[in-house]
Amino acid sequence: ESIFSTMTAKANKLGAINLSQGFPDFDGPQWIQELVTQAMQEGHNQYAPGPGTMELRTSIKSYLNKYYQLNYNENTEVTVTNGATEALFCSSLALINPGDEVILFEPYYDSYMACIKMAGGIPVPVTLYGPDFSLDKAKIEKAFSSKTKAIFLNTPHNPTGKVFNKDELNFLSKLILKHDTYVISDEVYEFLTFDDHNHIPIATLPSMKERTLTISSGGKTFGLTGWKVGWCAAPENLTKSIRMVHQFNTFSVAHPFQLGMAKAIDKLEDHLKEFRPLYLQKRNLFYEGLKSANLNPIPPQGTYFIMCRIPEELNLTDIEYCYELMEKKKVAAIPPSAFYTLDTEEGKKYIRLCFAKNDETLIKAISSLQ
Ligand code: PMP
Ligand code: GLN
C-alpha cells in the first residue's frame, strides 16, 4: 500500500485533519463539472478512441504551444492516459528494458521506483539535500553510465516544492544528450509556481524535445484529482511505444471526462487567474502559520506541499513524528523516508504537509500544531 493511502486511512480513523495525501478538500470548478454532465447527456458514453479524443488531444497541443511554444502533432505525439500515473507507467514500460539503468532524484514520487522495477530496470537514485534541494552536479554526472537509459525528472518537485531552474535544467540536458538517454518529465504541478519561480519544461531546451516524454494531468491544475485525466506528449517514435502499452493497459480514458477536460483546458487562461493567486495565498497562510508554530517549514517554490524539518532535539524519525502529530495534535502528514532508498537517514529528517485545503482547515491545523 502506498504511504498516501496508509496515512489517509489512519487520518480518517483517528478523525485527524488530513494534510497527508495531496488533494484539495474543496471542490473543483462547478463549470467544468457541468461540461462532463453535458457530454454524458449528449451521449458520449461509449469508449473513447484509445489515444484520447481528438478534442482533448487538440486542447493539450494548443496549451503546450501557447504556454511553452512547444509544437506537438495531436495525431501522432499526444496520448491521453488515466492520470499522470498511467502516463508514467506506459512511458516506463515503453522505454525501459530489463537491465537498463534509470536515474531518479530522491525524494522521488513513489510510482517512479515501482515503474522502473516493473519494467526490469535498475534504479540509480541521486539524493537532493535540504534545505534548498538543489542539484549536486558532481553526483549526477557520476550517476550516468553507458547503461543509463532514462532519467525521471519532476519539476515542480513533489515533495520538496523545488522548481528546477534554467541552469540546472541546462546542466541535466547536456548530460542527457552526451549519454544519448531520455527524460521522463513529470510536470503535473506546472501551473503551481510561486514568487519569481517559473516552470520550464525540459523539452523546450535545445535538442531535448526528441528525448523528452512530457507528462501532466488535469488533476492538479483544475483541482479534480478524482477525474484521473492525464497525458503524455512525446515524439512520434516514443508515442508509438507508449500507445502500445496503453492499449493493453487501460486502452482508453473515461469519454465524458475527456470532453469536459478539453473545454476546461481551452479556458485555462481564465482559470489560472483565480487558481494561481488562490494557491499563493494558501502557501503564504500555511507557511507563516507553520513558522509561528515552530515547525521549521521550508518555503516551497512550487507544488502544494511544504516540507518541515523535524527539530533535532526531539530525536524522532519522520514516522514517529508523524504518528505523534496525528495522535496528539490530530494533524496527518506524510513521512518522506518512503521516498528515499539511497540516503534514507535524510528522509527521516522531514515531514510533508499539503496545503491544498480550505483556509479554515489550514487555520484549524495551525492552531492545533501551535
Ligand atoms: N506525479 C506527481 C509528482 C504527483 O504528485 C502525482 C499525484 N498527485 C502524480 C504524478 C499522479 O497524478 P495523477 O493523479 O494525475 O495520476
Ligand atoms: N500525488 C499525491 C500526493 O503526492 C498522492 C496520489 C496517490 O495517493 N497515489 O500526495
Q: What is the 3-state secondary structure (H, E, C) of 66-84?
A: HHHCCCCCCCCCEEEEEHH
* Ligand 2 binding pocket mutation candidate from 20, 21, 82 (most atoms within 8 A of CB): 21
d(CA 26, CA 13): 20
pLDDT digits (tens, 9 = 90+) for 227-284: 999 999 999 999 999 999 999 999 999 999 999 999 999 999 999 999 999 999 999 9
d(CA 89, CA 83): 10
Q: If you take atom 15 of ligand 1, which residue's CA is the nearest one?
A: 83
Residue 295 pLDDT: 96
Q: What is the DSSP code string of 32-73?
A: HHHHHHHHHHTT--SPPPTT--HHHHHHHHHHHHHHH-----
Pocket of ligand 1 (CB under 6 A): 22, 83-85, 109, 154, 158, 186, 188, 217, 219, 225, 228, 230
pTM, 2 dp: 0.97
- From residue 228, alpha-carbon distances to 42, 156, 190 in Å are 21, 19, 16
pLDDT digits (tens, 9 = 90+) for 93-105: 999 999 999 999 9
* Location of C-alpha cell 506524510: 334
Residue 181 pLDDT: 98
Query: Which atom number of ligand 1 is nearest to the Cα of residue 158?
Result: 3
Residue 97 pLDDT: 98
d(CA 345, CA 317): 9
C-alpha 337 – ligand 1 centre gap (Å): 18
* Location of C-alpha cell 493567486: 277
Q: If you take atom 8 of ligand 2, which residue's CA is the nearest one?
A: 4
Q: If you take atom 4 of ligand 2, which residue's CA is the nearest one?
A: 22
Residue 339: all three cell numbers together: 521516498
Residue 296: all three cell numbers together: 521549521
Beta-bridge partner residues of 71: none
* Chain centroid offset of residue 191 CA: 11
Q: Are strands 229-233 and 101-106 parallel, antiparallel or unpaired?
A: unpaired
Average pLDDT, rounded, for the chain: 97
Q: If you take atom 5 of ligand 1, which residue's CA is the nearest one?
A: 158
As a whole number, mean pLDDT of residues 129-148 equals: 96
* Ligand 1 binding pocket mutation candidate from 162, 164, 188, 232 (most atoms within 8 A of CB): 188
Residue 335: all three cell numbers together: 513521512
Residue 2 pLDDT: 93
Residue 202 pLDDT class (50, 70, 90 cuts): very high
Q: What is the DSSP letter of 353?
A: E
One-letter identity of residue 5: S
d(CA 184, CA 63): 19
Helix ranges (DSSP H) in the chain: 3-14, 30-41, 54-68, 83-95, 110-118, 137-143, 166-178, 218-221, 236-247, 255-266, 268-292, 318-324, 344-347, 359-369
pLDDT digits (tens, 9 = 90+) for 158-191: 999 999 999 999 999 999 999 999 999 999 999 9
- From residue 201, alpha-carbon distances to 69, 166, 310 in Å are 10, 10, 32
